[in-house]
Amino acid sequence: MQFTAQQIAAFLGGDIVGDATVSVNNLSKIEEGTPGTLTFLSNPLYTQYIYTTQASIALVRRDFEPEHPVTPTLIKVDDPYTCLTRLLELVNQAQGNKTGIEEPCHIALSAQMPDDVYVGAFAYIGERVQVGEGSKIYPQVYIGDDVVLGKNVTLYPGVKIYHGCRIGDNCILHAGVVIGSDGFGFAPQADGSYKKIPQIGIVILEDNVEIGANTTIDRATMGATVVHKGVKLDNLIQLAHNVEVGENTVMAAQVGVAGSTKIGSQCMFGGQVGVAGHRRVGNRVVVGAQTGIPNDVKDNMEIMGYPAIPKIDFARQTIHVKRLPELNNTVKELRKEIEELKKLIHKDEE
């Protein structure tokens, strides 16, 4: 699809500087821009590239004034990054506008399917499943009995949703996501073996949740594992049984949250964070990458390290750790001097 600068400016409410008739059919990074593409300048660190990019159109801030001639037509907007997001959403909708049911696939007779749904080949949809309007179920998706999908849900290839789970409106689950697998519950026995504890709960994803590829969310032992609205989870994340994640919290790849832990709203977790079971993490908590959380965390904290401590304390510790070799050498020298002083004192006493 091709769009002119005039069309893009009208859609974004921007002002054009340059040729309004120039057209583009793709997007590019500003440092790699080629003719026929649209790019953007949001971070001042990349300003140098606006003078060398070969992109045909560039989104810039309204107050941007070039100091040298530029090749692309400029579209001035309030926030180039936000406007780029709007354009990406438009392109994504155009590319993903699939409807109809492909064969072969299995759809139980008791399943409720709207007319505008898309179901890809080799998908399995179980008994009494409810699918909302505008939803897209890509090939090789498994949806177990009694699952409820809201409106405009997108399930990419290979997603697995076990029986009874509920997915809210506008949720996106990427390839390989597993929702509702059994929680890790085993009771130790007298002979040293472990007896499986049945996991009879479900998983609930509220509206506008997005989950990255190969992330797993376990069903509750009883009740529900709950991911509240607006949560964004990266790839390769594990949420254990009966975990609860508050609204608009984001987690980067390889985060692991143990059973029955409650995460507050508007939190930010870096990659490879681990949280112990039965803990409570407050609202608006920022957690640095590779942090281990063995205890409860209060609201509005920024924490790092293991065990997790305030970010500023972690920074101080890091400085001291870097000095350990120097301090160790100093201690050795002091011990040597002390031993020499002891010898002198001993001679004087004789």
SS3 of the chain: CCEEHHHHHHHHCCEEECCCCCEECEECCHHHCCCCEEEECCCHHHHHHHHCCCCCEEEEECCCCCCCCCCCEEEEECCHHHHHHHHHHHHHHHHCCCCEECCCCEECCCCECCCCCEECCCCEECCCCECCCCCEECCCCEECCCCEECCCCEECCCCEECCCCEECCCCEECCCCEEEECCCCEEECCCCCEEECCCCCEEEECCCCEECCCCEEECCCCCEEEECCCCEECCCCEECCCCEECCCCEECCCCEECCCCEECCCCEECCCCEECCCCEECCCCEECCCCEECCCECCCCEEECCCCEEHHHHHHHHHHHHCHHHHHHHHHHHHHHHHHHHHHHHHHHC
Instruction: Verify whether residue 278 is a known catalytic residue.
Output: no
Question: According to CATH, what is the number of the domain 3-95?
Answer: 3.40.1390.10
Per-residue pLDDT of the chain (350 residues; tens, 9 = 90+): 789 999 999 999 999 999 999 999 999 999 999 999 999 999 999 999 999 999 999 999 999 999 999 999 999 999 999 999 999 888 777 666 788 999 999 999 999 999 999 999 999 999 999 999 999 999 999 999 999 999 999 999 999 999 999 999 999 999 999 999 999 999 999 999 999 999 999 999 999 999 999 999 999 999 999 999 999 999 999 999 999 999 999 999 999 999 999 999 999 999 999 999 999 999 999 999 999 999 999 999 999 999 999 999 998 888 888 888 998 899 999 998 898 888 888 776 66
Catalytic residue among 241, 278, 320, 346: 241
> pTM for the complete prediction?
0.82
